[in-house]
Structure 1
Amino acid sequence: MSNTISAAQNWKRNQQKLAPWLFLAPGMLMFLIYVLVPIFQSIWISFHDWDGLGAKEWIGLQNYVELMDDDTFYVSLHNNVLWLVLYLLSIPAGLAVALFLNQTVTGIRLYKSLFFFPFVISQVVVGLMFTWFYAPNFGLFSQSIEWLTGTQVAVLADERYVTYAIIVAGLWPQTAYCMILYLTGLNNINTEQVEAARMDGAKGFKLLWYIILPQLAPATFIAMVVTVIGSLRSFDLVSIMTAGGPYGSSQVLSYFMYEQALSEYGFRMGYGAAIAVVLFLIMMVFISLFIVRMLSQERNA
């Protein structure tokens, strides 16, 4: 009886300290099981030669040594850098669209629905739509090029243009996602600061740069992180639109990993895991830089 009373007293005394951890426990447990454990398992598998079914054979760093001599790896890495650089265009594009839609004019809800539409459809559907858009003979893009120049261009079959064509397809839904983030941020803007700045003569670009953008910093940070992760793990569009072709010129690290680990290349799980580890490290570098910069800006503020 006394033990029950003491336990109840301890709970009342430490309730505020323990309650947050009890609420966080399920999420932390799922994060441990479905995120942290697979990360360490992938690292462990990358040191083995394994087909996914039989016994693992320890080979140390051999998978990484082979990766450094693989030309396809460097093509994939180059394409991922292109994805990363060009995908960041979705952030200013999303901001521009959000500023346009953040108005009270007739029909603005219709415009919001049209701009929101790319975000809710599947990447597979986006890939199919842009495959038809680029298709020779009947695609709108190909027909437009033929009308302007007199010749058709099959961009998805041209090693020079194929990666850029896929990135453009990816920018469409990613811009919509950034737009949603910025629209949410614009709804939380301090209107008193905006009005005070206007009374002091600030308008146009100065008002945007010095008053509005600083208040949108949290939305910009989330958009940056999500966009970087999306660019580095780009898989769906590459798989649907080109399957890494022509001649492997549109390969990215995530699709290269899939090909090596789960396709006709012989189920090289260890080699695929090594590619996954390299991709994970690249993501961690960029995300860590963003987090450090955000924390330093908050300290300075």
Structure 2
Amino acid sequence: MSNNAPATPGFWKKHQQGLAPWLFLLPGLIMFVVYVVLPIFQSIWISFYDWDGLGPKTWIGLGNYEELLGDEAFYVSLKNNLLWLVLYLLAIPMGLAVALFLNQTVTGIRLYKSLFFFPFVISQVVVGLIFTWFYAPNFGLFSALLKELTGLDFAVLADERFVTFGIIVAGLWPQTAYCMILYLTGLNNINPEQVEAARMDGAKGWSLLWHIILPQLAPASFIAMVVTIIGALRSFDLVSIMTAGGPYGSSRVLSFYMYEQALSEYGFRMGYGASIAVVLFLIMMVFITLFIVRMLSQERNA
């Protein structure tokens, strides 16, 4: 009898196409679970304890969250985060305006693009230092201009009423550059035939922008919205560099207050800091969930 029957394919040969993508994704998934998912659950777990980070933990249940409800500094931080959230969205129309300006063929446009792109590539620490000097009452350009125009010598970062606005303006500088990059990419992918057809129909200016260009920039707008909102909620470095939460805690945001309570010389209250982190995480999850639901609905409609 002949023994030339074909051999049964092995497990890898049978499932190669299904397994190969997961093998490529596996290292990234492991990193994501270890450095993102597990710390989230660990933070939630720590928030139920009174712990200084070194000694034994004491279970207090919802005690940290009950303390948050009566903590005035927490409400100041939450209010500042909401202010960041609203005003930081100005980076989106500003980035669009800059992108429309740069999406032209004029002399020196590469130089202009480099100048507008510059804030995106420098560190937030450098941005904070630049604006700290810019607002400085003794030698800062802003203070000098204000004094020249009004005769007032005004320290923005030392005034509880305006300090948060001053930091947000500093944050808008690099964030506008980021949104500009997104919109420049989107403008390069616009269908020129639709634009030309609209111009032949008499559309121009705001009408052309609103009805033809902006609908094609919807994916870029969506990404800009997501990144800007998350950036506003995660604002930490500029607050830390420019004011360290001052004056008198008036410029704190939730991320900085979390650090202040958990890791600075003022606190070492890891459990209380973790409870602030959980609140910030829940606020982020609300927006992230809304964005994901909208994205999925748009894909189904498409």
- TM-score band, normalised by the shorter chain? over 0.9
C-alpha distance in 1 between matches for 2:199 and 2:167: 42
Letter in 1 for 2:18: K
Instruction: Report 1:28-107 matches (<5 A).
Output: 28-107=29-108
Q: Number of aligned residue pairs: give it.
A: 297
**Identical columns (%):** 82
SS of residue in 2 equivalent to 1:14: helix
Match of 2:3 in 1: none
Match of 1:187 in 2: 188
C-alpha distance in 1 between matches for 2:236 and 2:71: 20
C-alpha distance in 1 between matches for 2:177 and 2:8: 52
Letter in 2 for 1:47: F
- Alpha-carbon contact 2:260-2:267 (below 8 Å) kept: no
Q: CA 1:216/1:7 → structure 2, altered by over 3 Å: closer, same or farther?
A: farther
Displacement after TM superposition at 1:299 (Å)? 3.7
Displacement after TM superposition at 1:199 (Å)? 2.1
1:268 aligns with 2:269: yes
Q: CA 1:169/1:217 → structure 2, altered by over 3 Å: closer, same or farther?
A: same
Q: CA 1:71/1:217 → structure 2, altered by over 3 Å: closer, same or farther?
A: same
Displacement after TM superposition at 1:6 (Å)? 7.0
Match of 1:162 in 2: 163
**TM-score, with length taken from structure 2:** 0.94
Match of 2:240 in 1: 239
SS of residue in 1 equivalent to 2:99: helix
> Structure 2 unaligned runs (5+)?
1-5
Question: Per-residue CA shift, 1:95-134, capped at 9, x if unaligned?
Answer: 1101111111111000000000001111111111101100
Match of 1:280 in 2: 281
Match of 1:253 in 2: 254
C-alpha distance in 2 between matches for 1:42 and 1:104: 51
C-alpha distance in 2 between matches for 1:38 and 1:97: 39
Instruction: Report 1:110-125 matches (<5 A).
Output: 110-125=111-126
SS of residue in 1 equivalent to 2:179: helix
**TM-score, with length taken from structure 1:** 0.95
C-alpha distance in 2 between matches for 1:42 and 1:277: 7
- What value does the CA root-mean-square deviation take over the aligned residues? 1.5
Q: CA 1:166/1:136 → structure 2, altered by over 3 Å: closer, same or farther?
A: same
Letter in 2 for 1:80: N
Displacement after TM superposition at 1:44 (Å)? 0.4
Displacement after TM superposition at 1:8 (Å)? 4.8
Displacement after TM superposition at 1:206 (Å)? 1.9
C-alpha distance in 2 between matches for 1:267 and 1:135: 32
